[in-house]
Chain A
Amino acid sequence: MGRYGLKPSRQSAFPEKPLGSTRRDSARSWIVLVLIATALVLYISSEQVQRTILSLIFPSETQFTHTRKTILQMTTAHISLTLGATLLSAVVGIVVGIAVTRKAGKDFQQLVLRLNSFIQTFPPSAVIILAFPVLGFGWKPALLALFLYSLFPILGNTVVGFQSVSPAVIDSAKGMGMTWFQQLWIAEFPQALPMIFTGIRHSYILNLGTAAIAAVIGGEGLGTIIISGLTLRNSALVLSGTIVISLLAFLGEQLFHMVSSGR
Chain B
Amino acid sequence: MYIRIYNQKVVKTTRSVDIGRCRHMSEELDSPPLTCYLHRIGETPVETERTEQAFALPMGEHVGQFESRLNFHRKLAAIVLLVFAVSFFFPFFFARENRISAEIPGGIAELALLPTLLLLLPPTMILLYALIRNSRRSEWLLSFAGTLGLLAPLAVLAYVGPRVVSTLGPFARYSPGSGMYLYLTAVAIVYLMKARIRIGDYIGLAVALAVVLALGHQGSFNRLGILLEARNFGTRLSREILAHIRITGISIGISVLVGIPLALVTFQSRRMRKLVFPLLNVLQTIPGIALFGLLIAPLAALSQAFPQLREWGIKGIGNTPAIIALSMYALYPIIRYSFTAISSIDASVVLAAQGMGMSSGQVWRIVRFPLATPGILHGIRVALVQTIGNATLAKLIGGDGLGVLVFEGLGQASVDMVLLGMLLIIALTVAADRIFQILITVLTPVSLRREGA
Q: Please give the residue numbers on chain A whose beta carbons come within 8 Å of chain B beta carbons, in ascending order.
A: 1, 11, 13-15, 58, 60-61, 103-104, 106-108, 111, 114-115, 121-126, 129-130, 132-135, 137, 205, 208-210, 212-213, 216-217, 223, 226-227, 229-231, 233-239, 241-242, 245-246, 249-250
In the assembly, what is the distance between CA of A101 and CA of B9, in Å? 22
Using A123-B429, A209-B288, A226-B287 as known contacts, say yes or no to A60 and B301 having CB atoms under 8 A apart: yes
On whether the beta carbons of B192 and A111 are closer than 8 Å, the reply is yes
Contact with A along B289-333 (1 / 0, CB 8 A): 110111111101100000000000000110000000000000000
Q: How many angstroms between the C-alpha atoms of A201 and B301 in the bound complex?
A: 37
Asked if B275 lies at the interface with its beta carbon under 8 angstroms from chain A, I say: no
**Cross-chain contact A235 with B298 (CB below 8 angstroms):** yes
Known contacts A107-B69, A123-B388; 8 further A-B pairs (Cβ under 8 A) = A60-B301, A107-B75, A124-B389, A132-B410, A133-B175, A237-B293, A239-B290, A245-B286
Q: Find out whether the CB atom of A242 lies under 8 angstroms from the CB atom of B290.
A: yes
Nearest-CB distance from A234 to chain B (Å)?
A: 7
Whether A61 pairs with B297 at a CB distance below 8 angstroms is yes
Contact check, A15 vs B287: say whether CB atoms are below 8 A apart.
no
Interface contact B389-A227, CB-CB below 8 Å = no
> Complex Cα distance A226/B433, Å?
30
B389 surroundings in chain A (CB, below 8 A): 122-126
Say whether B422 contacts A129, CB under 8 Å.
Answer: yes
Residue B50 is within 8 A (CB to CB) of chain A in the complex = no
Closest B residue by C-beta to A121: B433
Residues of A within 8 A of B301 (CB): 60
CB neighbours of A1 from chain B (8 A): 378
**Nearest Cβ on chain B to A150's Cβ, whole angstroms:** 14
- Assess the A114–B289 pair: CB atoms within 8 A: no
How far, in whole Å, are A108 and B77 apart by their CA atoms in the complex? Answer: 11
Q: How far is the CA of A60 from the CA of B296 in the complex (A)?
A: 12
Say whether, besides A130-B422, A216-B410, A233 and B317 are in contact (CB < 8 Å): yes
Give the complex CA separation of A108 and B292 in angstroms: 41
11 A-B pairs (CB sep. < 8 Å): A13-B284, A122-B389, A125-B288, A133-B416, A209-B287, A213-B288, A227-B289, A230-B397, A233-B316, A238-B296, A242-B293
Are B75 and A108 in contact (CB-based, < 8 A)? yes
Nearest chain B residue, comparing its CB with the CB of A227 = B396
Considering the chains assembled together, what is the distance between the CA atoms of A173 and B73 in angstroms? 31
Contact A108 B76 (CB under 8 A): yes
Query: Are the CB atoms of B75 and A241 closer together than 8 Å?
Result: no
- Chain B: minimal CB distance from A111 (Å): 6
Write the B342-362 contact mask toward A (1 if CB under 8 angstroms, else 0). Answer: 000000000000000000000
A122 and B178: CB pair below 8 A?
Answer: no
Q: Would you give the shortest CB distance from A66 to chain B, in whole angstroms?
A: 13
Q: How many interface residues does chain B have, given as a range?
A: 35 or more
Q: Which of B68, B277, B406, B419 contacts A15 (CB 8 A)?
A: B277
B297 A246 Cβ-Cβ under 8 A: no
Which chain A residues border B23 with CB–CB below 8 Å? none
Does B172 count as interface, using CB distance less than 8 angstroms? no
Checking B285, B289, B429 against A126 with a beta-carbon cut-off of 8 angstroms, the contacting residue is: B429
When distances are taken between beta carbons in the complex, the residues of chain B under 8 Å from A115 are 192
Residues from chain B with Cβ under 8 Å of A135 in the complex: 178
Given A123-B385, A133-B422, A208-B287, residue A233 in contact with residue B192 (CB < 8 A): no
List A contacts of B288 (CB < 8 A).
125, 209, 213
What distance in Å separates the Cβ of B358 from its nearest Cβ neighbour in chain A?
28
Q: How far is the CB of A157 from chain B (nearest CB, A)?
A: 17
Q: Which residues of A contact B292 (CB under 8 A)?
A: 230, 238
Which residues of chain B have C-beta atoms less than 8 A from A229's C-beta?
293
Closest residue of chain B to A115 (Cβ to Cβ) is B192
When chains A and B are docked, how far (Å) is the Cα of A135 from the Cα of B193?
27
B181 at the interface (CB under 8 A from A): yes
Q: Could you tell me the distance between the alpha carbons of A217 and B419 in the complex, rounded to whole angstroms?
A: 13
Contacts of A133 in B (CB 8 A): 175, 415-416, 418-419, 422
Q: Once the chains are docked, how many angstroms separate the CA of A242 from the CA of B297? A: 15
Which residues in window 166-192 of B have CB below 8 A to A?
175, 178, 181, 189, 192
Q: A238 — which chain B residues lie within 8 A by C-beta?
A: 290, 292-294, 296
Contact of B386 among A123, A217, A235 (CB under 8 A): A123
Task: Specify which chain B residues have a CB less than 8 angstroms from the CB of A213 in the assembled complex.
Answer: 287-289, 393
Q: Which residues does chain A contribute within 8 Å of B284, judged by CB atoms?
A: 13
Which listed residue, B286, B393, B413, touches A246 by the CB 8 Å rule? B286
Most buried by B among A132, A230, A246: A230
Residue B12, interface by CB 8 Å: no
Q: List the A residue with the shortest CB-CB distance to B437.
A: A5
A-B pairs with lowest CB-CB distance, top 7: A123-B389, A238-B293, A235-B297, A107-B72, A209-B287, A249-B285, A242-B290
Given known pairs A126-B425, A129-B406, A212-B290, the reply for A230 and B433 (CB within 8 Å) is no
Question: Which residues in chain B, 57-107, are within 8 Å of chain A measured between CB atoms?
Answer: 65, 68-69, 71-72, 75-76
- Residues of B409-445 at the interface with A, using a CB-CB cut-off of 8 Å, are 410, 413, 415-416, 418-419, 422, 425-426, 429-430, 433
Any A CB within 8 A of the CB of B392: yes
Q: Which of B294, B385, B425 lies at the interface centre, i.e. has the most chain A CB atoms within 10 A of its CB?
A: B294
* CB pair A122 B287 closer than 8 Å: no
